């Protein structure tokens, strides 16, 4: 079974780290920064896509920690 991608999403007035298609959040944090740090570590460990959403639900940023045979030239990191 393959690992599920990870998303950072608003959760009331907090931020949730959620696996794709999961019914419940893996963890909930007071700040988006805390959620991003936790979610990024999970994505790196599992080698999956990592997506950060803003308060409006739109995607703010994405990273891939999978084994891409043709990785893009990432200028962020």
Q: CB-based burial of residue 77 (10 Å sphere; 0-12 exposed, 13-18 middle, 19+ buried)?
A: exposed
* Cα–Cα distances in angstroms (integers) from residue 70 to residues 3, 61, 65, in the given order: 21, 20, 13
What pTM value is reported for the model? Answer: 0.84
Residue pLDDT, tens place only, 18-69: 999 999 999 999 999 999 999 999 999 999 999 999 999 999 999 988 776 6
* β-bridge mates for residue 49, sequence order: 64
What residue segments make up the domains of the chain, in order of their start? 6-64
């Amino acid at each position: 079974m393959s690992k599920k991608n990870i998303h950072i999403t608003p959760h009331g007035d907090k931020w949730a780290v959620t696996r794709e298609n999961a019914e419940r959040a893996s963890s909930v944090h007071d700040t988006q920064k805390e959620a991003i740090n936790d979610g990024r570590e999970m994505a790196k460990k599992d080698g999956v896509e990592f997506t950060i959403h803003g308060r409006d639900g739109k995607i703010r940023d994405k990273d891939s920690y999978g084994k891409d045979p043709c990785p893009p030239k990432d200028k962020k990191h």
